[in-house]
A and B are shown apart, each in its own frame.
Chain A
C-alpha cells in the first residue's frame, strides 16, 4: 500500500521514538501538519521558529535524545538558522525538517523559496534535499543516525511540498549503511597505553573536561577515572556538571571567566588531559602562553578537533566514555600528592567572591540563593552575557545535563526556549532560566507557550538595565564609553508576565530575594518571571582579557 510522503515522515518519526516535536506551520508544510494533527507524539507550537529549534535543542541537551523541529520554507527556514547554528557549535543532536517549494519550482525564486540546504550547509553536520518520495524514509533514518552518532550535530531535511504529497510504499530501513561515515568509538589500545604511562610519570597533571563528556554520557566514567588517579579536574562551560563541583578535586570552570585556581593549575601543569574538549579560544586565551610546560593527551571523537589549535602529544580518537573506561582499568595512580596539595591550597586561598558592600542586590548573590533554595537540583539554562557567567560560577553543578547554555555561538535568546524543551524532557525537575534583561527580550514570545503547557519554568532576570557584558568590556577596555549598551528604557517585566498569564515578581532589595525565590518555587502550574533589580554596574570577575593569559587575569575591580 502506498502512503503519502507526509505520512511516511510521521511513520518514520514514530519509528525513531520521537516523543516531542517543536515547530511552526506554513504553506508548504500543511500536508505534513495535516498528519501531525493526530500523530501519537506531542507537538509544541512555538511562536517563532528560532524558539522551536532552541526548544528542540534544550530538549536534546536535557534528555540526551535527538531534538526534532519542523518549519515551513523560506522565512520559516531562515528563522530557524540561529537555532541550527547554535546546536552545531555545541554539537547537539537535532533533526530539523524544513518545507520547500515543489521540486519543479526550485530555482525559480518561487514564493517563500530559500536555498535551505545551501544556507545551512556550513552550520549542519549534514543536510538533505529530498528529491524523491521513495528516498524519504531512508533519509530520515540516516538523519537521526548522523545527528546522534560520532560527534553529534544538527541535520536538516528539506522536503519539497510535492514530495510530501507524493506517494510511496513505506518501509523503514533497519540499518543505515553509509560507506563514507563510520565514527570510531573505541580508542586505539596502543594510544591508551601510552597515555596511561605518561599519566603515571607526570608530576603536575590536570584534567580538562568538556561537553563531549556530557554528550557521550561519560560522567560516571570520568568520576571513576578521577577517583582512581586523584588528578584535579577543571571543566569548560560546556562541561559543567560532568564532574561534581562540590568535590575537593574540582577546580570548577577554566578560561576567560574561570577560576583563578583552574587557570593557574592548567598553566603550571606538566600534563594536560583533555577529554571531550576542543581548546576553544575562550579557554586558551593566548595559545602560546596557555600551557608552556605541559604535554597534552587529547581524547575526542572528532579527529578534526585534535591538534587544531594546540599541538597534541598523544591523541586518542574515540568516545570519551569508552576511552575513560579503558584508561581507568589500566592506569596506575601517579605520585602527585605535593602538586594536589599545592593546587588545593591555591583553591582555598582564591575562592570566587564578590563585593557585598552596599545594599543593592548583587547578581551573584541571586545565583547563590537559587542554588541553596533548589538544593542544587534544578536544571539551569542561561541566556548570554554576564548572567551566563555568574550562573556558571555561582551555581554548583553536580550532575550532567543540569547546565544548558549556548557556549560556542553565544546566542542571546537561547535560554528561555531551551528551558521549555528541557522542562518537557524533565518534568521531574525545576528548570530555571538565568537571564539578562537584554537576552530575555529576544525570545520572550515563547512565554505564552510555557503558560499554555503549564510549564513551571522560572525566569530569573538579573536586571541591570544594561547589555551588561558589552558594558563591562566598554568599561574595562573601551574608556567607559557605553555606546548603545544601556537598555534601561525597558518594559515592566511583572506586567508583561501577567499579560501572558504567568506570575511576575519584582525584587528590589536583598531581604526580598529568598522570599521571591521560594514563592516562585511554590508555583507549579505556570511560569514565573523573577525580575531582580541588581547592582547595575557589577562586573564578572575574574576575567582574562581576550587573547591574554592567566598572568594578565584581572581578579577584581581595579580602582
Chain B
C-alpha cells in the first residue's frame, strides 16, 4: 500500500529516520511500536505528506487516507450525528450500529465518555471509506473495556472492508493480538518490518528496542510479553 524508499528525516540535530526502507502491507493491520520520542508520530506525518522528508520518498497507492489521533478536540458543540455528517452527508447505518452509536446519535459529543467519543471519531474516519486508515495511539485515553471494544470493532471492520490499517500502540500485547504485521521503530533511527508471528519470538530484539528486559510467557493458547 505504501512504499518507503530510503527515507531520512531529522529534527534539528536529532536524526529520527536514517535511510529507512519498508513496505506497508496492503489489506492488513500493521502495528507501529517503539519507545517514546522515537518518532512514531513523525513517521505518520511523513506518510500522510504533512511533513516532507529530508531525503528519500514515500510512494502511496492509497486513494483516501484517514487519520485518527489519540485525542480529537471539537471546537463547536456537535452531536454525534452532526459529527458523522461532516465526514459524509449520508450516514452508514450499519457502521453506526457496529460501533454501538445508534442510541447516542442525538447526544452532544461533550456529554459522552472518552471511550464513546473515540468510537464516534472512529465512525467519523470510517465514513470517509478510506483505503488506508492510520491511528495514532487510538486507545491511550480509554479504559480497558473501551480499549478492547475499540480494537475488536476495528479488527472486524478491517476484515469486512479489507482496509489497510497502520496503528501506533503502546501495549505490546495488544499490538501482537490485533495486528498481522509489526513495524518496530528504534532509537538507532531504523525500522524493523516483520510479520507479527515472526516478531513475537524475537524477545531480545524487543528488549533492546524498549531498553527493558522482557520475557515471553507461553500458555497453551497465547503468548504474553512481560517485563522481567
A and B associate in one complex:
no
Residues of B bordering A, CB below 8 Å: none
Residues of A bordering B, CB below 8 Å: none
